[in-house]
Amino acid sequence: MKKITKLLVANRGEIALRILRSAKEMGIATVAIYSEADRLAPHVRYADEAVCVGPPASKDSYLRGDKIIEICHELGVDAIHPGYGFLSENAGFARAVRAAGLLFVGPSPEAMEIMGDKLSAKQAVKAYDIPLVPGTDEAITDVAAARQIAQEVGFPILIKASAGGGGKGMRLVQNADEFAEQMQLAVNEATSAFGDGSVFIEKFVTGPRHIEIQVLGDEHGHIVHLFERECSIQRRHQKVIEEAPSAVLTPELRAEMGRCAVQVARACHYAGAGTVEFLLDDQHRFYFLEMNTRLQVEHPVTELITGLDLVKEQIRVAEGQPLPFRQEDLAISGHAIELRVYAEDPQNNFLPDIGRLVTYVRPQGPGIRVDDGFEPGMDIPIYYDPMIAKLIAYGATRAEAIERMLRAIAEYQIMGIETTLPFGTYVLQHPAFVSGNFDTNFVRDHFQPAALAPQAPDEATAQVAAALVALLLHEQQPAAIDAASAETGGASGSAWRRNRLGVR
């Protein structure tokens, strides 16, 4: 056991703040790092100390593992929390941290390596009873042999890159005639994107749900699961809405997927917080896809339904403490939904929208949590992920969580950039979402951008708008209008304005 007294957070934005807050509650001193683009970011002020690591580009700042370790030595830091993204799943960095005599708040480099590659992950879980999508568990190299396997599995099939993730290097093959060409494309894409051309075959599961299980392990071999998150609402392989629990899992299926997730974690001697991803098909059969060896963006929904602080648990595990609970101590209470508020235009194919948060007012009230890293007036940096905030609603039931989310979206005032907030309203009111009957094709099947287009105002609204424009023009040019007003013997412009607005 080694107590952490000073923690460096190797990240930015909402997740840096999220981690700093838990460290503060635990009485741990904190160090933030920041790039030149983030000098004014809230995480920099929140930490006890902050060090600039370099120019805006991630590779020159948040990815500079060598510099970050050096800072730890200079400031007497004893542990690093990597957050998500950046260095969080970099086994080489985790190894360097360990070699420098520091604690890495995350799993071992060995576990990261095993799960970082999809084929080695499949190999690792082979000894356990984990359902895998029919296909190959070794890299395919010979086209003719691979086509033969695809025939046996049955088209359509997917060719996936072993080193891939987020749908990159994934090719859908409809029939044997296309196979050779698609395989070549997949190998080329994997080679250029990951420096590793290993690909494998999986039967294509049509209309699957993406359901993941949160796991938590300690260094003494205890592993529990913290139930599921439903993450099927996504676009371009990026999640937008997540919820816990899933509307479709029965207690039996939940327990079974949970047991499998724990076994996947056991297969790589996992310690820390991790996520085991599954596909669930329309027959409610589930298949292990991959394991993410980090804290995930959507972890708050799990926190809300379990009452746990996952960052605190991560820190305690990193210190070598045993988990303070067993599986049977854990239960789901209530329902939580997260909407990722991205600086993107849902009416324009979710293209990133850059600019300034001219107005930024967060929603509040019962059951609402906002995890963000912005303040009014700040610019959205172009260098990083365009996520502004995570809006999380909690309720006793799914219906109450939906009502609260809709109310909170209506309260949220963001002006200056387009966001995914209106998309959230659309989804949360959609019959398919409300009924729970949806899959990973939700956006393709049910979302029409035109549904978000502003409606033409009615006559009364148009007149109020015209009056407000007149008032604003008056405010900007009071001298000219006051002069006109004096000529007609009226009150001064500003006094008139005060009276009209009821301001004293």
Nearest distance from C-beta of residue 427 to ligand MV4, angstroms: 15
Nearest distance from C-beta of residue 241 to ligand MV4, angstroms: 12
Cβ distance to ligand MV4 smaller for residue 16 or 443 = 443
Phi, psi of 361 (to 5 degrees): -125, 120
Nearest distance from C-beta of residue 239 to ligand MV4, angstroms: 8
Distance of CA 413 to the CA centre of its chain: 21
Query: What single-letter DSSP state applies at residue 135?
Result: B
Task: Tell me how crowded residue 472 is: count the other CB atoms within 10 A of its CB.
Answer: 10
- 202, 218, 345, 372: residue in contact with ligand MV4 (rule CB under 6 A): 202
Strand order in the sheet with 286-292: 286-292, 272-280, 209-217, 223-235, 238-244, 335-342, 387-395, 368-372
Binding status of residue 158 toward ligand MV4 by CB under 6 A:
yes
Scan for tokens 């966001």, then name that residue.
419
Q: Could you tell me which residues come within 8 angstroms of residue 100 by beta carbon, excluding any fewer than 6 positions away?
A: 69, 72, 73
- 109, 208, 245, 493: residue in contact with ligand MV4 (rule CB under 6 A): 208
- 76, 92, 154, 167: residue in contact with ligand MV4 (rule CB under 6 A): 167
Distance CA 384, CA 149 (A): 41
Contact criterion met (CB below 8 Å) for 235 and 291 = no
Per the structure block, which two tokens stand in for 105? 């708040």
Nearest distance from C-beta of residue 172 to ligand MV4, angstroms: 9
Could you tell me which stretch among 82-90, 202-210, 249-257, 359-367 binds ligand MV4 (CB under 6 A)?
202-210
Computed from CA positions of residues 418, 88, 196, 139, in that sequence, does the dihedral angle turn out positive or negative? negative
Cβ distance to ligand MV4 smaller for residue 72 or 279 = 279
Binding status of residue 237 toward ligand MV4 by CB under 6 A:
yes
Using CB atoms within 10 A of its CB, is residue 488 exposed (0-12), middle (13-18) or buried (19+)?
Answer: exposed
Binding status of residue 205 toward ligand MV4 by CB under 6 A:
yes
Kindly list the distances between the CA atom of residue 156 and the CA atoms of 189, 199, 232, 275, in Å, as whole numbers in the listed order. 20, 16, 21, 28
Binding status of residue 46 toward ligand MV4 by CB under 6 A:
no
Could you tell me which stretch among 28-36, 179-187, 205-213, 495-503 binds ligand MV4 (CB under 6 A)?
205-213
Nearest distance from C-beta of residue 237 to ligand MV4, angstroms: 5
Query: What b/e sequence results for 112-143 when a residue is b if at least 16 CB atoms lie within 10 Å of its CB, and e otherwise?
Result: bbbbbbbbbbbebbeeeebeebebbbebbeee
Phi, psi of 226 (to 5 degrees): -115, 40
Pick the catalytic residue: 294, 316, 340, 404? Answer: 294
Binding status of residue 155 toward ligand MV4 by CB under 6 A:
no
Cβ distance to ligand MV4 smaller for residue 298 or 418 = 298
Per-residue binding letters, 431-460, with ligand MV4 (x by CB under 6 A): ---------x--------------------
Per the structure block, which two tokens stand in for 357? 């948060």
Per-residue binding letters, 279-318, with ligand MV4 (x by CB under 6 A): x---------x-----------------------------
Binding status of residue 35 toward ligand MV4 by CB under 6 A:
no
- 64, 118, 147, 210: residue in contact with ligand MV4 (rule CB under 6 A): 210
For the question of residue 294 being annotated catalytic, the response is yes
Per the structure block, which two tokens stand in for 405? 């989310």
Q: With contacts defined by CB under 6 A, how many residues of the chain interact with ligand MV4?
A: 15
Distance CA 338, CA 393 (A): 6
| Residue 348: closest CA among 229, 474, 450 | 450
Q: Which 126-145 positions form the footprint of ligand MV4 (CB under 6 A)?
A: 133
- 22, 61, 234, 275: residue in contact with ligand MV4 (rule CB under 6 A): 234
What is the separation, in whole angstroms, between the first and last Cα of the chain? 63
Cβ distance to ligand MV4 smaller for residue 35 or 440 = 440
Binding status of residue 37 toward ligand MV4 by CB under 6 A:
no
Could you tell me which stretch among 17-25, 95-103, 203-211, 310-318 binds ligand MV4 (CB under 6 A)?
203-211
| Residue 303: closest CA among 244, 230, 372 | 244
Nearest distance from C-beta of residue 153 to ligand MV4, angstroms: 10
Cβ distance to ligand MV4 smaller for residue 56 or 156 = 156
Per the structure block, which two tokens stand in for 270? 């996992």
Binding residues (CB under 6 A) for ligand MV4: these are 133, 158, 166-167, 202-205, 208, 210, 234, 237, 279, 289, 440
Catalytic residues: 294
